[in-house]
Protein backbone atom coordinates (compact mmCIF):
# COMPACT_ATOMS: atom_id res chain seq x y z
CA UNK A 1 0.00 0.00 0.00
CA UNK A 2 0.85 3.66 0.16
CA UNK A 3 3.32 4.95 -2.41
CA UNK A 4 5.82 2.14 -1.93
CA UNK A 5 5.36 -1.51 -2.81
CA UNK A 6 7.25 -4.54 -4.05
CA UNK A 7 4.42 -5.27 -6.51
CA UNK A 8 5.53 -5.48 -10.15
CA UNK A 9 3.17 -4.03 -12.77
CA UNK A 10 3.42 -5.49 -16.29
CA UNK A 11 3.16 -3.49 -19.51
CA UNK A 12 3.14 -4.07 -23.25
CA UNK A 13 4.08 -1.46 -25.84
CA UNK A 14 3.57 -1.02 -29.57
CA UNK A 15 6.21 -0.67 -32.25
CA UNK A 16 8.96 1.97 -31.83
CA UNK A 17 9.30 1.02 -28.15
CA UNK A 18 11.92 -1.45 -27.02
CA UNK A 19 11.39 -3.64 -25.07
CA UNK A 20 7.81 -4.44 -26.13
CA UNK A 21 7.05 -5.98 -22.71
CA UNK A 22 8.39 -4.79 -19.37
CA UNK A 23 7.55 -4.52 -15.65
CA UNK A 24 7.85 -1.59 -13.26
CA UNK A 25 8.00 -1.51 -9.44
CA UNK A 26 7.39 1.55 -7.25
CA UNK A 27 9.61 0.55 -4.36
CA UNK A 28 10.86 4.02 -3.35
CA UNK A 29 14.50 3.16 -3.87
CA UNK A 30 16.96 6.04 -3.87
CA UNK A 31 16.20 8.41 -6.72
CA UNK A 32 13.13 8.34 -8.93
CA UNK A 33 10.70 5.45 -9.04
CA UNK A 34 11.38 2.82 -11.68
CA UNK A 35 10.70 3.93 -15.24
CA UNK A 36 11.11 2.83 -18.83
CA UNK A 37 12.30 5.20 -21.57
CA UNK A 38 13.23 5.03 -25.23
CA UNK A 39 14.80 7.41 -27.77
CA UNK A 40 12.61 8.08 -30.83
CA UNK A 41 14.21 9.11 -34.12
CA UNK A 42 11.24 8.96 -36.53
CA UNK A 43 8.63 11.72 -36.24
CA UNK A 44 5.75 11.89 -35.72
CA UNK A 45 5.55 8.59 -33.87
CA UNK A 46 2.63 7.15 -31.89
CA UNK A 47 3.37 4.58 -29.19
CA UNK A 48 0.71 2.72 -27.25
CA UNK A 49 1.57 1.42 -23.76
CA UNK A 50 -0.94 -0.84 -21.98
CA UNK A 51 -0.82 -1.94 -18.35
CA UNK A 52 -1.92 -5.53 -17.62
CA UNK A 53 -4.43 -6.21 -14.85
CA UNK A 54 -2.75 -6.91 -11.52
CA UNK A 55 -4.80 -8.87 -8.95
CA UNK A 56 -5.40 -6.89 -5.77
CA UNK A 57 -4.78 -3.56 -7.53
CA UNK A 58 -6.81 -1.18 -9.65
CA UNK A 59 -5.60 1.40 -12.16
CA UNK A 60 -6.60 4.77 -10.68
CA UNK A 61 -5.16 7.24 -13.21
CA UNK A 62 -2.92 7.75 -16.23
CA UNK A 63 -1.38 11.20 -16.65
CA UNK A 64 0.76 12.29 -19.56
CA UNK A 65 3.00 15.36 -19.55
CA UNK A 66 3.54 16.35 -23.18
CA UNK A 67 4.80 19.78 -24.35
CA UNK A 68 2.50 19.55 -27.42
CA UNK A 69 -0.49 18.19 -25.40
CA UNK A 70 -1.29 15.41 -27.86
CA UNK A 71 -0.55 12.36 -25.66
CA UNK A 72 -3.25 10.94 -23.42
CA UNK A 73 -4.21 8.17 -21.05
CA UNK A 74 -7.40 6.09 -20.93
CA UNK A 75 -7.99 4.19 -17.67
CA UNK A 76 -10.93 2.26 -19.19
CA UNK A 77 -8.54 0.53 -21.61
CA UNK A 78 -5.48 0.83 -19.28
CA UNK A 79 -3.66 2.48 -22.19
CA UNK A 80 -1.52 5.55 -22.78
CA UNK A 81 -1.25 6.83 -26.34
CA UNK A 82 2.04 8.70 -26.61
CA UNK A 83 2.53 10.95 -29.63
CA UNK A 84 6.10 12.18 -30.13
CA UNK A 85 6.58 15.18 -32.45
CA UNK A 86 10.25 15.93 -32.86
CA UNK A 87 12.71 16.44 -30.06
CA UNK A 88 10.46 16.44 -27.00
CA UNK A 89 10.21 14.49 -23.76
CA UNK A 90 6.83 12.89 -23.01
CA UNK A 91 6.18 11.30 -19.60
CA UNK A 92 3.13 9.14 -18.87
CA UNK A 93 2.52 7.96 -15.31
CA UNK A 94 0.27 5.01 -14.45
CA UNK A 95 -1.07 5.33 -10.87
CA UNK A 96 -2.44 2.22 -9.15
CA UNK A 97 -4.33 1.76 -5.89
CA UNK A 98 -4.29 -1.35 -3.79
CA UNK A 99 -7.78 -2.80 -3.40
CA UNK A 100 -8.87 -2.99 0.21
CA UNK A 101 -11.36 -5.82 0.70
CA UNK A 102 -14.73 -4.87 2.11
CA UNK A 103 -15.91 -6.32 5.39
CA UNK A 104 -17.35 -9.40 3.73
CA UNK A 105 -18.42 -11.13 0.56
CA UNK A 106 -20.46 -9.23 -2.01
CA UNK A 107 -22.71 -9.97 -4.98
CA UNK A 108 -22.38 -9.59 -8.75
CA UNK A 109 -25.53 -9.20 -10.84
CA UNK A 110 -26.87 -8.11 -14.17
CA UNK A 111 -29.12 -9.01 -17.08
CA UNK A 112 -28.77 -10.78 -20.42
CA UNK A 113 -30.96 -9.69 -23.35
CA UNK A 114 -31.25 -10.30 -27.07
CA UNK A 115 -30.53 -7.64 -29.70
CA UNK A 116 -34.05 -6.22 -29.20
CA UNK A 117 -33.72 -5.95 -25.41
CA UNK A 118 -35.85 -9.02 -24.67
CA UNK A 119 -34.65 -11.26 -21.80
CA UNK A 120 -32.69 -14.42 -22.56
CA UNK A 121 -33.65 -17.25 -20.19
CA UNK A 122 -31.09 -19.93 -19.31
CA UNK A 123 -27.96 -18.07 -20.44
CA UNK A 124 -24.83 -19.40 -18.71
CA UNK A 125 -22.68 -16.87 -16.84
CA UNK A 126 -19.12 -17.81 -15.84
CA UNK A 127 -17.32 -15.85 -13.10
CA UNK A 128 -13.54 -16.35 -12.83
CA UNK A 129 -11.48 -15.01 -9.92
CA UNK A 130 -8.14 -14.28 -11.62
CA UNK A 131 -5.92 -14.56 -8.52
CA UNK A 132 -6.60 -18.29 -8.14
CA UNK A 133 -8.55 -19.12 -11.35
CA UNK A 134 -11.54 -20.34 -9.32
CA UNK A 135 -14.70 -20.60 -11.44
CA UNK A 136 -18.39 -20.23 -10.60
CA UNK A 137 -21.43 -20.61 -12.85
CA UNK A 138 -25.02 -19.40 -12.77
CA UNK A 139 -27.97 -19.14 -15.16
CA UNK A 140 -30.34 -16.32 -16.05
CA UNK A 141 -33.94 -16.55 -14.88
CA UNK A 142 -37.09 -16.08 -17.02
CA UNK A 143 -36.53 -12.31 -17.03
CA UNK A 144 -32.87 -12.57 -18.06
CA UNK A 145 -31.47 -11.66 -14.63
CA UNK A 146 -28.53 -13.43 -12.96
CA UNK A 147 -26.79 -13.08 -9.61
CA UNK A 148 -23.68 -14.47 -7.93
CA UNK A 149 -23.82 -14.26 -4.10
CA UNK A 150 -21.06 -14.62 -1.50
CA UNK A 151 -18.31 -13.47 -3.88
CA UNK A 152 -15.02 -12.56 -2.13
CA UNK A 153 -14.21 -8.88 -2.66
CA UNK A 154 -10.82 -7.26 -3.20
CA UNK A 155 -9.89 -9.14 -6.34
CA UNK A 156 -10.05 -8.93 -10.14
CA UNK A 157 -12.73 -10.98 -11.91
CA UNK A 158 -13.72 -11.94 -15.44
CA UNK A 159 -17.37 -12.64 -16.22
CA UNK A 160 -18.53 -14.12 -19.51
CA UNK A 161 -21.83 -15.17 -21.07
CA UNK A 162 -22.97 -17.81 -23.54
CA UNK A 163 -26.49 -18.61 -24.64
CA UNK A 164 -27.32 -21.17 -27.33
CA UNK A 165 -27.87 -19.54 -30.72
CA UNK A 166 -26.99 -16.02 -29.54
CA UNK A 167 -23.75 -14.21 -30.32
CA UNK A 168 -22.35 -11.52 -28.04
CA UNK A 169 -19.93 -8.98 -29.50
CA UNK A 170 -18.61 -8.28 -26.00
CA UNK A 171 -19.10 -11.56 -24.16
CA UNK A 172 -16.48 -11.02 -21.42
CA UNK A 173 -16.05 -8.18 -18.92
CA UNK A 174 -13.17 -7.70 -16.47
CA UNK A 175 -13.50 -5.70 -13.26
CA UNK A 176 -12.02 -5.14 -9.80
CA UNK A 177 -14.59 -6.11 -7.18
CA UNK A 178 -14.57 -3.95 -4.06
CA UNK A 179 -18.29 -3.83 -3.29
CA UNK A 180 -21.56 -5.18 -4.72
CA UNK A 181 -21.48 -4.99 -8.53
CA UNK A 182 -24.78 -4.36 -10.31
CA UNK A 183 -25.67 -3.65 -13.91
CA UNK A 184 -23.11 -5.97 -15.50
CA UNK A 185 -25.35 -6.54 -18.50
CA UNK A 186 -24.83 -8.38 -21.77
CA UNK A 187 -26.77 -7.84 -25.00
CA UNK A 188 -26.67 -10.22 -27.94
CA UNK A 189 -25.73 -8.72 -31.30
CA UNK A 190 -27.71 -8.92 -34.53
Could you tell me the CATH number of the domain that includes residue 125? 2.60.40.10
- 111 and 84 in a common domain: no
For residues 129 and 49, state if they share a domain. no
Report if residue 3 sits inside a domain: no
Q: Which of 98, 129, 152 is the last residue of a domain?
A: 98
| Domain count within the chain | 2
Please determine, for residue 103, whether its predicted confidence score (pLDDT) is greater than 80. Answer: no
Same domain? 125 vs 66: no
Last residue of one domain, picked from the residues 71, 98, 125: 98
* Mean pLDDT across 114-138: 97
Answer for the pair 62, 73: CB distance below 8 angstroms, yes or no: yes
Of the candidates 56, 78, 98, which is a domain's last residue?
98
- Mean pLDDT calculated for residue range 156-179: 94
Instruction: Give the phi and the psi of residue 86 in degrees, each rounded to 5.
Output: 80, -165
Domain with 55, as residue range(s), is 8-98
Reported as a single tens digit per residue, the pLDDT across 12-65 is 998 777 788 888 887 666 544 567 777 777 777 889 999 999 988 889 999 999
What pLDDT is recorded for position 102?
A: 60
pLDDT tens, position by position, 63-88: 999 999 999 999 889 999 999 888 88
Amino acid sequence: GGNSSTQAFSFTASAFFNPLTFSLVDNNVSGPDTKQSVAITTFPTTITVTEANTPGWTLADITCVDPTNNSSGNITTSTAEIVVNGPEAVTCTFSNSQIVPSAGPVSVEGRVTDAYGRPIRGAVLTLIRTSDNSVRYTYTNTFGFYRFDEVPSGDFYLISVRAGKYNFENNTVGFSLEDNATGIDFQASF
